[in-house]
Chain A
Amino acid sequence: MAPLLKVENLRIELSLRGAVAPVIDDLSLELEAGETLSFVGESGCGKSMTALALMGLLPDVGRVAAGSIEFNGEDLTTASDARLREIRGNEISMIFQEPMTSLNPLYTIGEQIAEVLRRHQNLGKTAAHNKAVDLLDAVRIPNPKARVNDYPHQLSGGQRQRVMIAIALACQPKILIADEPTTALDVTVQAQIFDLLRDLGRKTGTAIILITHDMGAVAEMAEKMIVMYAGRKAEEGPVDTVIEHPRHPYTKGLISCVPHLMANLTEDRPELTEVGGIVPGLKEFGRDACLFASRCAMAQDKCRTARPPEMAFDGEQVSACWFAGDV
């Protein structure tokens, strides 16, 4: 069976000030129904741009320069705007980082959920309202019958993010894209949101694409992960394999530069591994070289003059590093 989502050799270019930069450079991925895939990387690495491309919401200065995005066998890169609008919010939906600003303060949360249902599923007013109550219940908002008439400002940050999830799930999408859904939330609330997403994914078979910079969240949530760096795929593979044995120095750096809570804490506190420097600017994107070379401790001349190909390892792990075998 063909995968639910198949992205092949996708290249997205932004034209800025006369120059063209490939913010997504030759990206391929596959996503099955019910799977959770995570994009990891620092800011400016193209994680969010990938999400926008999947939603057909690229900024005006961006365009798909090459490749395809096949959703259920249909190429979204050539689909009409009307068709994309039909898919958006209905079959692929998205939740954003900032739950404070992504709800309209002038409407009750019930109205905002019902609006989506009426637009995409042609439900009547009462039916939509009742479904909204059900959805609030599904995202575990206590006393949904009363809360459905609340305005966004009456809810806490965690509850607003639940409402966002309810809106995203209203039409039982096949794919839910979550762009840093918990960055603005407290850690106990984050845990609840993660639980919720996981349960909903299991129950409805919705595939989840989780965009994050937190390796811990990836480890908790996802089955597959893609590490992005400067618009390119640095590494891809099953989460446990990659975290256990990263094959790209960038992945390794991302894991070991953060102090994690471990099963048994000891007195021993080694220095954190530093990944010097910062993500290169857009001007650098697209060069025929490993873009991570300037920050990499293992970099050789080869890394600076030729772009490394993707090398496959056991267990579906793929790494774009000349020295992936040595990492």
Chain B
Amino acid sequence: MADIQEKIIKLVPDAVFEEGEVLTVCVADKNWHELAKHLKEDTELNFDHLVAIVGMDWTDTLGTMNYLESTKTGQMLCVKLQTADRDNAMLHSVSDLWDVANFYEREVYDYLGIIFINHPDMRRLFLRNDWVGYPLRKDYDASPETNPVRLDHEQSDDSTVCYREQPDGTVKKEEVTVFEPNDFVVNIGPQHPATHGVLRFRTAVDGETIKKIDIYLGYIHRGIEKLSESLGYPQTLHFTDRLDYLSAHQNRHCLCLCIEKALGVEVPQRAQVVRVIMDELMRISSHLLFVGTFCMDLGATTMLFYAMRERETILNIFEKTCGARMTFNYNCIGGVIADLDKDFVHDVKALLEIMPKALKEYDTIFTGNVIAKNRMEGVGVLTREDAISYGVTGPAGRASGWGCDVRKTHPYGAYAQVEFDEVVRTEGDSMARFKVRMDEIRQSLRIIEQLIDRIPEGEICAKVPKIIKLPEGHWFQQVEASRGAFGVYIESRGANTPWRLKFNSPCMNMAGVVPHIAKGGKIADLITIGGTLDYVVPDIDR
């Protein structure tokens, strides 16, 4: 820590440090780009992964919290930036250093109206181009008259704007072309069978070869972060199940962990173990659905039915304990909401027996198929550097050789007690991503196998106050969801509602990397790439 502080002070003498769970440093905007460059390129610090940019409204000023992580040491750093004023809020962009900042900064612009200087594409990300106001500002006018439901079609623009800094320090608005007038632009989405929800790719093609992709998000932007600001902490929990509904348990686990960390609550051992088992079951069911829908995208429809068959057995287990098939609402602050069903252990053991056989069957049907091999091998290659720069975590990142499993790098819950391997492959192509997921199912089974006989007796939930008020401060927590590192940022001002609650989803980064790796491929490759990245659109849009 001290080493980091020294280095930063050397660069930016007026930096202010705030000790906390993560070292926070406040710097002025004019030094930010320089500092970021050093933090990223310094071989010792090596903060090469931009975890999150959280846009903030502190009523007097706006700003961002930038979470950086070193892929070498796993150390985290938070850089706090503030704008000079609210009306003409501007910050410097770091999208030239981290590709993932491209979407993060557009999101901040969309939510809070902070313009990022030198950002190549300053458009709204989630909301319509003609939306009035910035919803996450505290003074946003939410009345339906300002933004009524409109049925007229939105214009898709072939150009965008960039606020370029001139040598003399002034900022000039420039127009940047996205598509040339004679590009053959095919609109894939928002209603398209292979986008796994409502995602829209405007794709310029040359014959069947993809020249350029422009992504439109927000077709399922539900404004969860704004909604959470008006709800008490226990009430915010249910949104997490509906973000990435295939990682419902993990997401909720993350928010609970973050609140528990802030409250200083110790979760009972039994609850910790139960949470981990549930997380891993969820991961298996999610990867099974991935196998099914991905194979269906490639045209092998039958695999979907085989994968769904096994998934139903997992859903049965969930249903007996949680009472629901999809949105479980099982974790709660301090533990879990209900004790395990009496059949739980028996059912899970039965599952442990059928799964290895099922996996073998999938391999026979699909993985060994020569057409499947040709469709996946060498398609959509993502290098390790790009994976880190685009912040692609989870199975997709690990398929590129980046060991980014939060369960290993920052163990939480009962993960420290179990043995499992982090599945890492180096090819980075679609086949690697597919195989990593198949192997992860095996690892998850291994974790469950270790824990299922050792569920400790005791309380399932710690005692927490009826009305939960977090102390002042900010917290950041990550867990390994089915698709990658899912993060939660909470800033509290001591009230019973969060001042700012931000969900940092792994899927948005994956969507962001699609144009990069699909370029030069065929239209069919776009489907393969989208399928193997396996994003869930409501998680992207939140």
Q: Do A and B interact?
A: no
A-binding residues in B (CB < 8 A): none
